[in-house]
Structures are given as C-alpha cells and as structure tokens.
C-alpha cells in the first residue's frame, strides 16, 4: 500500500503507474473520499480534545459546575459517535480503493502491454543436442516409475500426481542440496505455515487480485501459494531495530494453487500442479532504494547460481510494466530450458516492493534518529519442486534411456544416474 500522503503529493506519477500496469483505479475518487475522511477525522480529534479538556475539570469542579460539564460531555460523546458512524462507509470505500492503488515501477522497468513484451536480459548454458528422439518428462519419469499420474488423479483429481521411488528421492536430494547451497548465503532457515489468515494475503497483495487462484479453508483462512505470505506476517505489527536489519530468511513450505484460468494449459505432467514444495528467499531491509535494488540483484543471482550449478540452461526476463504485478517495483522471471517443448518454462521470480507490503503489515524499524520507518521487503524463489524435475530429467536424458544426475546432486541422491 502506498502512503496516502505520497499519493496526494504525486498523483500524476501514481496515475501513470496505474496506466503502465494496466490497473483500473479511480484516483480522483480516492482524493474526494480522502478529503471526506480527513475532514471527519479532524472533527473527531477536535471533539475528543474538548472531551479530554472538560473531563479533566470534572473531578475538581463544584457540584453545580460538574453537572454542566457532564451534560456537555454527554453531548460531545454523542457527536463523536455520529462522526464514527459517518466515517465507517467513508473508510470502507477509502480502503477498497487504496487496496487497488499499484506500486510505482522503477524507472528502469521496460514499458510493455503484457507478457509478450517482457525483455530477455540473459541466456545461460548450452542447450543439449540429442542424436536420438528425445522424450518428455512424462514418458521418462513414467518409464522409470518416478511418477504415477493415473493414481495421482484417482487420489487427488485433476492435476494429481504421486512422486515415487527415484522421483521422490530426487526431490529430496534437491531440497537438501538447496538447503546446503542457500544457507551458505547467510539466511536463517524456516519451515513456514501454509494455512494463513486472509488479512495477510491482502498484506502481500495476493488479494484481491489472486482470489480465484487460492484455496480457502472452511474457517475463512487460505492456503499459501508461496511462503512469502507467512514470512511477511512473521514480523507484522513489530518494531525492529535498525541494527537487526537486514532480516534474511530461507523458508520451506508446501504450496497450493488452484491454477484457475489455466485449465486448458499444461493439463498433463508436472508443470502446473495444485500442490508443490518451494524454498523461498525473503529479505527485510532498511528503507533505502539503493539497498533494495542491491538485495534484489543478490537474491536473483542466488537462484541463477543454483541453476548453473545443476547445469540446466536458462534464460532471464525483465518483467515489463504491463505484466508487472500491482505490488512490484521491479521483477525478474527465470525460465529453464525444456528440450521436448523446445522452449523455456518459468521456474521462479525475484521481486522487490519498497514499503508497499510493510505498510500493510505495519512492519517498522527504529532509524538512527529515533523515528519509526517502514522496512523494505524483497523475495525470490530459491527453487520449487516438482517443476524443476521437468527440465532436469529432459536435459539429462541419455540415448539408452537413462537419466544422468548432475554431479552436485549425487552426494544427496546416492547414485550417478537413474535407470
């Protein structure tokens, strides 16, 4: 959430941000509602000040004067209650509009209409050249009894799967290698909850826009599609010391996405599934654009280096304004090469938010001058499973049908190949 003072003082900039991000929000109406909000709140503050002033006089006043003071206090109290009732619908509309006001993208973010305008900024690795007919991950993993989609559908339904045998062992190997790899980069490890209160999804910006893609419990909570949500809630309503920053977390959790709107896409295999597991990097730092930009590049590079250590070819995209989420200042997507499809597929993203999220979570720190400031937040995918298995098995398949295991995974997997 942007600061309303910032919006008022930079209305044209915020309007341009909304236009670039293709977000419809009535900022002129917000200004009108905010004027009403401020007027009613100022009137309430003046009445409460008068209430306090008269209240201080009551204990020492004579009986006759006290009776008059109490009568005045009764009138003021009634007036304040009327103001509070008047404020309720104003605040409801104010908050509804504020939730849709987008963050301002960094000046370096490329302009664009949508995902087709995202800019390729990096390509790494040599794509494998096969002298045989390459197989896709479904055929490879099924042949090696690494996955069972038929029984997965029987148990879960659409997009269900069981990872079996070497499929399960390879996932565990990736988790353990990722744990070792990323913890060398000064993160604190966390196993995060996946059932999180609804309010925290508004905090991260996943609500209201992603409502159709979230699983909801009968208690009104939601299942997270990323531990970003629970980790941002971790320090909600807290005041941190500047000396404690940056806060650096490596969080692991099961994740859930309904994949609403994707029912006709990737209906087979492990690209889009309802239930998966993910390591997530998250940083809270002081309110400095320079530090946010620095940590953003660091988090992104961590993921790059992890993928490079596996030897999987990838490319990186900078997300254009028309595809940039409302909460993001800047974002990269990393995509792995999938040989059978002859294309790259997304494996993760890295984004930063300035204080957009922390204002909603009320996460602050005490600056050197003693003032309280909202921290900046950043997050990036470390690695998700089982999606990474798609590129791993396809890129490392051999002519004899076996699957070569990347060298860095062998100590965790226990052998050099599958099959």
Q: Which residues pair with 363 in a beta bridge?
A: none
96 alpha carbon, distance to own chain's centre: 20
Residue 262 has what pLDDT?
Answer: 67
pTM of the model: 0.91
Q: Domains of the chain (ranges plus CATH)?
A: 4-98 (1.10.287.40), 115-418 (3.30.930.10)
Q: Are strands 188-191 and 247-256 parallel, antiparallel or unpaired?
A: parallel
Cα 411 from chain centre: 32
pLDDT tens readout for residues 299-354: 999 999 999 999 999 999 999 999 999 999 999 999 999 999 999 999 999 999 99
| Phi and psi at residue 186, to the nearest 5° | 65, 40
Query: Quick one: pLDDT at residue 58?
Result: 80
Is residue 260 very low, low, confident or very high in pLDDT (cuts 50, 70, 90)?
A: confident
pLDDT band at 263 (very low <50, low <70, confident <90, very high): low
Q: Which of 5-19, 58-72, 198-212, 333-347 has the lowest mean pLDDT?
A: 58-72
Mean pLDDT of 171-176: 98
Sole residue written with tokens 């295999």: 269
pLDDT(47) > 70:
yes
Worst-scoring range by mean pLDDT, 54-68, 74-88, 166-180, 335-349? 54-68
Q: Residues 261, 267, 271, CA angle at the centre, nearest 5°?
A: 90
pLDDT band for position 264 (50/70/90)?
A: low
Average pLDDT, the chain: 95
At 330, phi and psi to the nearest 5?
-160, 150
The C-alpha atoms of residue 127 and residue 204 are separated, in whole angstroms, by 36
Distance CA 71, CA 69 (A): 5
What are the E-state strand segments in 32-74?
Answer: none
* Average confidence (pLDDT) over 4-14: 96
pLDDT at 68 over 90: no
190-233 pLDDT, tens digit each = 999 999 999 999 999 999 888 999 999 999 999 999 999 999 99
123-137 residues labelled b (16+ CB within 10 A) or e (exposed): eebeeeeeeeebbbb
* pLDDT of residue 164 exceeding 80: yes
Q: What is the pLDDT of residues 117-127, one digit of tens each?
A: 999 999 999 99
Query: Can you list the alpha helix ranges (DSSP code H) found in 99-226?
Result: 137-143, 149-156, 166-183, 198-204
Question: Mind telling me the catalytic residues?
Answer: 257, 272, 346, 349, 387
Residue identified by tokens 């798609």 is 390
Distance between CA atoms of 340 and 273, rounded to whole angstroms? 19
* Per-residue confidence (pLDDT) for residue 271, from 0 to 100: 93
């Amino acid at each position: 959430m942007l600061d309303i003072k910032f919006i008022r003082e930079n209305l044209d900039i915020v309007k341009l941000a909304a236009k670039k991000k293709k977000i419809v929000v009535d900022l002129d109406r917000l200004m009108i509602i905010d004027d009403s909000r401020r007027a009613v709140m100022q009137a309430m503050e003046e009445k409460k000040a008068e209430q306090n002033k008269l209240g201080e006089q009551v204990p020492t006043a004579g009986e006759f004067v006290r009776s008059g003071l109490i009568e005045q206090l009764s009138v003021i109290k009634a007036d304040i209650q009327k103001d509070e009732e008047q404020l309720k619908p104003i605040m409801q509309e104010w908050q509804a509009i504020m939730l849709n006001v987008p963050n301002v993208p960094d000046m370096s973010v490329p302009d664009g209409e949508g995902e087709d305008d995202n800019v390729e900024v990096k390509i790494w690795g040599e794509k494998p050249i096969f002298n045989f007919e390459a197989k896709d991950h479904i055929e490879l993993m099924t042949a090696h009894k690494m996955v069972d989609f038929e029984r997965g559908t029987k148990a879960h339904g659409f997009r269900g799967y069981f990872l079996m045998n070497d499929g399960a062992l390879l996932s565990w190997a990736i988790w353990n290698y990722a744990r070792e790899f990323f913890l060398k980069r000064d993160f604190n490890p966390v196993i995060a909850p996946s059932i999180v209160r609804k309010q925290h999804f508004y905090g991260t910006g996943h609500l209201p826009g992603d409502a159709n893609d979230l699983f909801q419990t009968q208690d009104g909570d939601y299942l997270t599609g990323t531990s970003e949500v629970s980790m941002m809630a971790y320090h909600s309503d807290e005041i941190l010391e500047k000396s404690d920053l940056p806060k650096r977390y490596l969080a692991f959790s099961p994740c859930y996405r309904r994949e609403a709107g994707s029912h006709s896409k990737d209906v087979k295999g492990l690209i889009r599934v309802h239930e998966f597991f993910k390591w997530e990097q998250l940083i809270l730092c002081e309110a400095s654009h320079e530090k946010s930009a620095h940590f953003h590049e660091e988090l992104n590079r961590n993921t790059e280096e992890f993928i490079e250590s596996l030897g999987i070819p990838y490319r990186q995209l900078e997300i254009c304004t028309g595809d940039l989420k409302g909460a993001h200042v800047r974002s990269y997507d990393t995509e792995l090469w999938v040989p059978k499809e002859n294309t790259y597929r997304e494996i993760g993203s890295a984004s930063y938010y300035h204080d957009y999220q922390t204002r909603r979570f009320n996460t602050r720190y005490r600056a050197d001058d003693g003032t309280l400031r909202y921290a900046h937040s950043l997050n990036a995918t470390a690695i998700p499973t089982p999606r990474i298995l798609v590129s791993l098995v396809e890129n490392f398949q051999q002519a004899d049908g076996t699957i070569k295991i990347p060298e860095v995974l062998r100590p965790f997997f226990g052998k050099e190949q599958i099959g």
